[in-house]
Amino acid sequence: MTPGMKKYKLKTGYTELVQCLLQKGKNVIAPKYSGRTLLFAKIDNAADAVLPDKYVNTVRSAKEFMFPVTEPIVEFSYGNKDVKVFDPVVEADEKIIVGLRPCDAAAFTVIDDIFNYEYKDEFYFTRRRNAVLITFACETSDEACFCTSVGLSPESPQGSDILFKKNSSGTYIAYTNSEKGEMVIRQAEELFEELTESEEENNSIYEEVSRSMRKPLDTVKIKEWLDKNFESTKWDEYASRCLGCASCAFLCPTCHCFDIVDEVKYEGGLRRKNWDACQFPLFTLHASGHNPRDIQSKRYRQRVMHKFKYYSDRFNKTLCTGCGRCVRSCPVNLDIYQVVSEITMEGVENE
Amino acid sequence: MSNDIRQIAHALLSEGKVSSVIGYAEGSLKGRVQTLIAHTAREAEKFIFNENCVNNLAVYLTKSYGLINKDKPAAVFLKPCDIKSVTALIQEHQLRREDVFIIGLSCQGVKNGNVMAGKCMGCSIHNPQYYDAIVGETVEEKEPGISDPFAKVKEIENMTTQERWDFWMEQFDKCIRCYACRQACPLCYCEECIVDKTQPRWIESSSHPIGNLSWHLIRAFHLAGRCTGCGECDRACHQNIPLSLLNMKMGKEIFELYGYRPGMDTEAKPPLTEFKMEDSEEFIR
Amino acid sequence: MNENFEPKIAAFVCTWCTYTGADLAGTSRLKYEPNVRVLRLPCTGRIDFSLVIKAFENGADGVLISGCHPNDCHYNAGNFHARRRFAIFRKLLEFTGIDPNRVQFSWVSAAEGAKWRDVVNAVTDEIRKLGPFNEYQKLIHDSFPFRHEDSGAEEISEKEQVENVK
């Protein structure tokens, strides 16, 4: 465990924890069903928050609470003579995001780097500062999960303010990882008690989950191959079946590309930052009409390169936390794990 | 059946009759299949067909994939329902008949995840009607599994105006404008989609209520009289927006008013590109 | 219903028949409701349903589409195509919870100045009865939450704007 982490025992269940936070007037975000779709949403009634042992993961990651699907970055309105420009108000209220998975919490620590690269994105960091991330270790996984392949595990504390794990008798133990996490524990102190030395903490379930997952990837070897194979017929082969739908990028907790558009209505308007994806031809279309990534194989290559090479060149991190959303959502089952493990297999030519 | 599939793919490729064969291969997840585009006879052994082959491979016959307009046709494995999409593409001059070699597959319904796909519930054609070659035994034609394929559409029709509005607003609110519905659709083949046009900007690309509503209205209407009901939009939508309900409603109205069903006849004119003098005009003052 | 409510109606008309008919209504000094904003297009066949959506997006409470009578189309068949398209489009609006009566359709010829007056009066009356299109206006409001001068928000000075760019 990371030094400085403190441990507490949760005396109640998950719903009571959510209930308690709500009673304290907290803004709680947790996985909740909208029809058949499990999404992070504001919780008004603790019973709506789906229990962490009842899902593998949400359809969309929690990145939209730091980096929304669409957000205004400038507001403007026409006066009598001139245009007035305003900074939008970024909601700075505290959000407690409960029920995250380790892969999603870790994703924030990965994309923090890019949002702080050359220019600090205050829209992102204002929300980031005001969000408390409360993670629940995974008691189940599905076939698409591969966090263990990219250096994480079903119980990684990376990025979480508090990580909850069940001990073998089914009691949740909270491991705080930051002052923000400690604060939440203090605010809900009636639910927690200090963990005594003698108490059982371990639970083999997390190791079992790890073992059931896909075999670890050799990210070093992958990068070596990518370093040498910007031009490879492999890209055509993989991309030939890609529909270019970008479900992978939209659901990815680490994909962070956006488009900027101006929208005008009546006597004013907004400049907005919208999610965008490298899988669209429009993403790189120049005003001249030239498109450097004019075919899908170049766009698919970009996706894989960005995840396993470019990001690692720049920040020494893999832009993937193995949440498996891209694998689950791809309509044609183009599986990035399969792709990157295949390219590192013996016999795949280095061109 | 998988043997027959491999045989025909192998024969077509080794005899040089086709430039490629588009079919299904084992997926990486339980219950999922992958697309395999084979260019050599050696690859043909990976082809399969089973109850998980829900994908409509007709989407690969649109121009952007570069598999058509070659000196030889592209062969593609198609279920009876998928053949309708090819028919529609030929009808709309997106595909020349001689550019495609249709290998029809008899089908008793496929699964989407663990359950039978929605499109199969109301299906009444289990054997290919229009093909160049056919694989597998003819299966018994059976009545649709559900009595009324439009039951869900009717359920919404029976709501009040306000209830319908609330229902769709809740659905569209989930939309994150990834356009997976468009990309998965074999008939959304426009090289530049109206939603990507910026001069002028017809549909706001931001995921806000106005942009989402306009996108879904326009998507549904652009498919009116064209959608063959393959359900790929529904399957591609990870937010589970019931997109095909809008398409089904359009199909239902087109049939009631103009007696037309899409994807049945390569020579027929799509209903919104033609007219009859006596068309109903009860709504016109 | 608010009796004082004056609906905004966008009228998309064809240049050959209805526009000329509306012109005739004007030159004949016929009085009619001032709620319609006439937008002239070459033919009803040119009136894309996206224009109707755009009208609602810009705050219209209703839309009127009007062109030549059947067999009178300057381009022979534009109005026949439009008739099919709008028959279906109305069904889509209805299905998504928009009252199809907010989109009205009429045939008004170049000689029918009086019919134009009657159509406009009747349509205005009907939309007035339906009331303001609050549902759509709420969407506009929710989608465009920009501030105005009078909201007391702090404006970014020109100097700051320049600095931000740097």
The per-residue pLDDT for range B211-224, each reduced to its tens digit, is: 999 999 999 999 99
Out of B164, B210, B277, name the one closest to residue C139 (CB): B210
Instruction: Indicate the DSSP class of residue A308.
Output: I
pLDDT of A349 higher than 60: no
Nearest to A184 by CA among A128, A127, A133: A133
| Per-residue model confidence as pLDDT tens digits over A41-82 | 999 999 999 999 999 999 999 999 999 999 999 999 887 778
Mutate to test the interface with B, among C18, C95, C142, C146 (most CBs of B within 10 A): C95
Question: In terms of C-beta distances under 8 Å and separation of at least 24 residues, what long-range contacts does A262-267 make, across chains too?
Answer: A263/B201, A263/B204, A263/B206, A263/C144, A265/C58, A265/C140, A265/C143, A265/C144, A265/C146, A266/C58, A266/C59, A266/C144, A267/A77, A267/A78, A267/C148
Residues of B in contact with A249 (CB under 8 A): 178
What's the pLDDT score for residue A215? 86
d(Cα C118, Cα C123) in Å, to the nearest integer? 8
CA-based nearest distance C56→chain A, Å: 12
What's the pLDDT score for residue A348? 61
N-term to C-term CA, chain C:
54
- Within 192-231 of B, beta carbons closer than 8 Å to C belong to 194, 202-204, 206, 208-211, 213-214, 216-218, 220-221, 224-225
Inter-chain CB proximity B36 and A241 less than 8 Å: yes
C-alpha dihedral, A165 to A170 to A171 to A173, nearest 10°: -10
Nearest to A124 by CA among A136, A135, A133, A111: A111
The residues near A189 (Cβ < 8 Å, ≥ 6 apart) are: none
- Interface confidence, given as ipTM, is 0.90
Inter-chain CB proximity B37 and A69 less than 8 Å: no
pLDDT of B154 higher than 50: yes
| Per-residue model confidence as pLDDT tens digits over A209-243 | 998 898 888 888 899 999 999 998 889 989 999 99
For residue C74, the SS3 value is coil
pLDDT of C112 higher than 60: yes
Alpha-helix runs per DSSP H in chain A: 14-23, 102-115, 122-129, 179-187, 205-212, 219-228, 233-239, 247-251, 296-305, 311-315, 325-329, 336-343
d(Cα A2, Cα A175) in Å, to the nearest integer? 10
What's the pLDDT score for residue A88? 87
Q: How many CA atoms lie within 13 A of B134 on its CB side?
A: 14
Inter-chain CB proximity A85 and C146 less than 8 Å: no
What's the pLDDT score for residue A89? 84
Nearest to B263 by CA among B130, B113, B157: B130
| Per-residue model confidence as pLDDT tens digits over A270-281 | 999 999 999 999
Beta partners for residue A272, in sequence order: A72, A261
List the structure tokens of A196: 């005594």
Inter-chain CB proximity C156 and A85 less than 8 Å: yes
- Average pLDDT on B130-135 reads 92
Report DSSP letters for B39-78, one per residue: -SGGGGGGEE--TT----GGGGGSGGG--SSSSSPEEEEE
Inter-chain CB proximity A261 and B206 less than 8 Å: yes
- Average pLDDT on B244-265 reads 93
Q: How far is CA A223 from CA A320, A344, B173, C43, in A?
A: 13, 9, 39, 59
- Average pLDDT on C102-131 reads 95
Flag whether residue A333 sits within 8 Å of chain B, measured between CB atoms.
yes
Flag whether residue C134 sits within 8 Å of chain B, measured between CB atoms.
no
Inter-chain CB proximity B281 and C87 less than 8 Å: yes
Those chains having 3 or more beta-carbon pairs within 8 angstroms of chain B are A, C
Flag whether residue B76 sits within 8 Å of chain C, measured between CB atoms.
no
> Residue A111 in contact with residue A315, Cβ under 8 Å?
no
pLDDT of A351 higher than 60: no
pLDDT of B143 higher than 80: no
What's the pLDDT score for residue B234? 93
Inter-chain CB proximity C84 and B272 less than 8 Å: yes
d(Cα B37, Cα C2) in Å, to the nearest integer? 63
Find the range with the poorest average confidence among A192-196, A232-236, B203-207. A192-196
Beta partners for residue C11, in sequence order: C38, C64
Flag whether residue B23 sits within 8 Å of chain C, measured between CB atoms.
no
C-alpha dihedral, C130 to C131 to C133 to C134, nearest 10°: -130
Inter-chain CB proximity C90 and B163 less than 8 Å: no
Confidence of residue A1 (pLDDT cuts 50, 70, 90): very low
Q: What share of chain A has pLDDT > 70, as a percent? A: 97
Find the range with the poorest average confidence among A42-56, A335-349, B93-107. A335-349
List the structure tokens of A230: 């910007």
Inter-chain CB proximity C155 and A77 less than 8 Å: no
pLDDT of A201 higher than 90: no
Q: Is the peptide bond before B200 cis (omega within 30 degrees of 0)?
A: yes
Inter-chain CB proximity A84 and C155 less than 8 Å: yes
Residues of C in contact with B273 (CB under 8 A): 81
Find the range with the poorest average confidence among A252-256, B50-54, C69-73, C160-164. C160-164
Report DSSP letters for A193-240, one per residue: EEPPTTS----THHHHHHHHSPPPP-HHHHHHHHHH-SS-HHHHHHHT
Out of C140, C154, C161, name the one closest to residue A265 (CB): C140
Residues of C in contact with B251 (CB under 8 A): none
Q: How far is CA B202 from CA A130, A139, A289, B87, C36, in A?
A: 37, 47, 20, 30, 23
Claim: this prediction has a pTM higher than 0.80: yes
- Average pLDDT on A146-171 reads 91
- Within 264-293 of A, beta carbons closer than 8 Å to C belong to 265-270
d(Cα B177, Cα B173) in Å, to the nearest integer? 10
Residue-averaged pLDDT of chain A:
90
d(Cα A5, Cα C156) in Å, to the nearest integer? 43
| Per-residue model confidence as pLDDT tens digits over C41-92 | 999 999 999 999 999 999 999 999 999 999 999 999 999 999 999 999 999 9
Report DSSP letters for B209-265, one per residue: HHHHHHHHHHHHHHTTTT-----HHHHH-TT---HHHHHHHHHHHHHHHH---TTS-
pLDDT of B228 higher than 60: yes
Show which residues on chain B lie within 8 Å of chain A, measured between beta carbons.
27-30, 32-37, 55, 59-60, 64-65, 170-171, 174, 176-180, 182-184, 196, 201, 204-208, 232, 235-236, 238-240
Confidence of residue C166 (pLDDT cuts 50, 70, 90): very low
What's the pLDDT score for residue C93? 95
- Average pLDDT on B161-176 reads 94
Beta partners for residue A268, in sequence order: A77, A265
Confidence of residue B146 (pLDDT cuts 50, 70, 90): confident
Inter-chain CB proximity C146 and A84 less than 8 Å: no
Residues of B in contact with A334 (CB under 8 A): 34
Flag whether residue C76 sits within 8 Å of chain B, measured between CB atoms.
no
From C90, which residue of chain B is nearest by alpha-carbon distance?
B283
> Residue C61 in contact with residue B223, Cβ under 8 Å?
no
List the structure tokens of C51: 């224009």
- Average pLDDT on A89-100 reads 90
Residues of A in contact with B47 (CB under 8 A): none
| Per-residue model confidence as pLDDT tens digits over A279-328 | 999 999 999 999 999 999 999 999 999 999 999 999 999 999 999 999 99
pLDDT of B45 higher than 50: yes
Out of B161, B217, B253, name the one closest to residue C53 (CB): B217
